[in-house]
Structure 1
């Protein structure tokens, strides 16, 4: 390995391991993880914060063509298989299903070390292993876990999440996709939206309404849908950033076998809550490497273009840096606590802080650049911030709409009076 500042050398990795491992057992696990990573991947150069050096990398959502997306999915699956075969593909999973049975801290340690290596982007499979899989382990039958969850971690299957709907907006419990008993199972009709990875997913976790005669939360159930089944149609959604990383999914008379019900009929909301907790954790756990780099690039922009001559903008830059540092410290604090002791609402605050920091960075870039923020002149470090700011809008929705989550934190963390609910 190189000892230059542009690569991750062994001395740096050893120091990172010492800083991250909480005890001797974790340190021993980390050493075996490093041996595996060094044997199967090359260390990657960190993102450069030098102005004008290398790609700008200011997009917040991964956006590629359909052909490239499929290739990236295949690469992610191949790497996941390699990890699973070596014992690093399902570190915290139940040992009876092929998981490692380790505490969450071991999985976190591996992810920190893995991030220093040039490995395939996990975006195509992240939802399956980060949100759908854990929810199915909690609420699915042993047959479901063995048949559908284990393949996610083995790198043999991809899952998507069929939750949001055009007519429900922020009110997830207001979904109207229906599932009625039919032919020894369920017949599903409806439309889902903002679904990531649906174009190549094998299964989808679908929140559906099975009983419209009761309260909206009580009338929901969760089904596991074969994404290749007749009646499932996936259409990409072109976004304002130019990419199409999300899709809408139309379900027309889709037959779902009875044993694909997750939990009990009418128990879908509890499964959805577990799934969303994983999603919000994933958003809040977003690496702060790119945020720290963005803050440094903004500092350079403000100092060289005279933007910081306006002391109000310089003060805003300081506030942005403080916000990013505070969010990182809070995240590190929560990661040191056993997952079972952290309330889901506490992780919600992480997601809110991440979204706020992303927006604040984009807003400051726009004010520093002026017209260059909106007009693509080809100059490095100017118009590229436009994608950052537009992507930041998506993080106000991803993992739960910002206004809803603020209410959740207010009521369940701060203990403020609950909002009055309309009679139903």
Structure 2
């Protein structure tokens, strides 16, 4: 109780009174330390524990993952004398949350090699990893495994399958799973609406939202995020604004900064930049970086340098460590031919010691996940890949399309004399 409330000194005093030989109390203390960020204290206590059960190791792994210390969590995981389902699930889930989805699938494969039957939570985490890297074949294998072992597809597993199939581009299979979920929870509906949204099927997303109400399922804040994003993708400004107004008035869902960001994105993409700016000014809470970022992105789309400069300055003050904001503002200047200002933004970024996040693409081919990074040519089939890309680029150009060359021109203006046009086209693909 003390640990869960963050009163760690009182919790530790209680533990000292009981004695460190009580494994359950030690686990509770370690969990408290981890939840409130005192990782070193958790490690120290773990080291002096006389008896370490599987649950003790699991607490350490989960805590390290939640604190973003994935490599250390992996070290503890590998050192465990024995593992249970929670151990595997904690490591896979930790990898997922830390952005290491490929490694999460490798751990899942290790489970198969050791002939450990995955349970519900491990399967759900593995499906999330498949969704993140687009590993459709592996996702299908997991679905087939569930059928073979007669694992009941409840709302949790069903939703995981819906998300996986939707993110892997198989909306038909996602829909099939959704229809077969016997007892659908609100998060199941949200997942399917989001899937339709990301594929640009806004009308179907709205129809499903209406069906959700007919089935007496109350929408929540996530439902409206999915719905507003669907409208933004399809340019349905009127419908999006209508649901934004109705969400509080009729559905009693209080709009958050995320909802305002969705509407700013909706208005901005459609070219209503002034209206988007006015909406930000009227927000009942302080606009965050995501809200301003949506407007800055719209400024780039529509080439509004004046507003982009204003919003960019706000963002650089608000998020001085976010390299993506500098890049976006620099690109706005470069697209408008304002090379001096673009150079100043890049110089400021360099002075602050910021680097751009390397672009990555992940492709699943015949069950093997291939990862590509911008500027990296280490893939063993890189020559063949480049030949195919050149052919694709030629086909694109024959159809009358040209890649965005603003970044290439910017580099030339800086005197970097690099042949970047081919690389830029490839990164777009």
The two structures share one fold, judged by TM-score above 0.5:
no
TM-score, with structure 1 as normaliser: 0.25
Tell me which protein shows more helix as a share of its residues: 2
TM-score, with structure 2 as normaliser: 0.25
Tell me which protein shows more strand as a share of its residues: 1
Bigger RCO (CA 8 Å, 6+ sep): 1
The structure number with the bigger radius of gyration is 2
